Chains A and B, each alone.
Chain A
Amino acid sequence: MADISLAMDTIMMGTFPAKKEAQRKQARDSSVPLAANRLDPDSDESLLIAVGTKQSTDAFNELFNRFSKRVFAHGMKITRNEQLSKDLVQEAMLTVWQKAPLYDLDRGTAQSWIFTLTRNRCFDMLRKQKRQPSCVSADDIWPGEFEDVDAHGKKEHEFIEVEISLVEKYLSQLPAAQQAVVEQVYLFDRTHEEASALLEIPLGTLKSRLRLAMGKLRQLIGNEND
Chain B
Amino acid sequence: MINEANFHPSTELLQKFAAGTLSGGMNVAISAHVELCELCRKQTSELEAKATIDWLQTPADDNGAEYSDMIANIISHPQLNKAEEKKSILSEMHMLDHSVSLPKVLAKAAAEGLVWKKLGGGINQAQISLDDETQCEFIYMQPGSQTPVHKHQGSEVTLVLDGSFSDELGQYGRSDFIMRTSIDVHQPRSDEGCLCFAVLDKPLTFTKGIARLLNPLNNYRFKKALSQNTNF
Residues of A within 8 A of B (CB): 1, 3-16, 19, 22-23, 26-27, 30, 52, 55, 57, 60-61, 64, 68-70, 72-74, 77-78, 82, 85-86, 89-90, 93-94, 97-102, 108-109, 111-112, 115-116, 118-120, 122-123, 127, 130, 132-133, 135-136, 140-143, 146-148, 151, 156, 158, 160, 162-168, 171, 182-183, 185-187, 189, 207, 210-211, 214, 217-218
Separation in Å of the A139 CB from the closest CB of chain B? Answer: 9
Separation in Å of the A118 CB from the closest CB of chain B? Answer: 8
Q: Are A135 and B67 in contact (CB under 8 A)?
A: no
Which residues on the A side are within 8 Å of B108 (C-beta)?
A: 135-136, 140
- Of the candidate stretches B4-12, B91-99, B148-156, B173-181, the one touching chain A is B91-99
Q: Are B61 and A73 in contact (CB under 8 A)?
A: yes
Kindly state whether residue B169 has any CB partner on chain A within 8 Å. Answer: no
Separation in Å of the A119 CB from the closest CB of chain B? Answer: 4
Known contacts: A123-B27, A151-B83. The answer to whether A162 contacts B60 by CB under 8 A is no
Separation in Å of the B169 CB from the closest CB of chain A? Answer: 26
In the assembly, what is the distance between CA of A22 and CA of B176, in Å? 20
In the assembly, what is the distance between CA of A101 and CA of B95, in Å? 43
Per CB-CB distance, the 9 closest pairs between chain A and chain B, nearest first, are A119-B20, A69-B60, A148-B83, A73-B60, A186-B225, A72-B62, A26-B45, A115-B52, A13-B90
Contact of B88 among A147, A156, A167 (CB under 8 A): A156
Selected A-B contacts with CB under 8 Å, 17 pairs: A11-B93, A11-B110, A22-B38, A23-B41, A85-B62, A101-B82, A130-B132, A135-B109, A141-B28, A141-B31, A160-B88, A165-B219, A167-B219, A171-B215, A186-B225, A187-B217, A187-B221
Excluding A132-B130, A136-B28, 20 further A-B contacts by CB distance (< 8 Å) are A4-B124, A5-B95, A5-B142, A8-B114, A8-B116, A11-B93, A12-B92, A12-B94, A15-B86, A15-B91, A16-B107, A22-B38, A60-B71, A98-B80, A101-B82, A102-B82, A116-B52, A127-B24, A182-B225, A218-B229
Q: Are B75 and A57 in contact (CB under 8 A)?
A: yes
In the assembly, what is the distance between CA of A213 and CA of B88, in Å? 37
Q: Are A167 and B217 in contact (CB under 8 A)?
A: yes
Which residues on the B side are within 8 Å of A187 (C-beta)?
A: 215-218, 221
Determine the residue in chain B with the shortest Cβ distance to A186: B225
* Total chain B interface residues with beta-carbon distance under 8 A: 87
Determine the residue in chain A with the shortest Cβ distance to B118: A4
In the assembly, what is the distance between CA of A127 and CA of B131, in Å? 8
Q: Are B142 and A132 in contact (CB under 8 A)?
A: no
Interface string of B153-187 (1 = CB under 8 A from A): 00000000000000000000000000000000000
In the assembly, what is the distance between CA of A17 and CA of B128, in Å? 24
In the assembly, what is the distance between CA of A68 and CA of B62, in Å? 8
In the assembly, what is the distance between CA of A162 and CA of B93, in Å? 11
Determine the residue in chain B with the shortest Cβ distance to A131: B132
Which residues on the A side are within 8 Å of B232 (C-beta)?
A: 207, 210-211, 214
Q: Are B71 and A64 in contact (CB under 8 A)?
A: yes
In the assembly, what is the distance between CA of A13 and CA of B132, in Å? 28
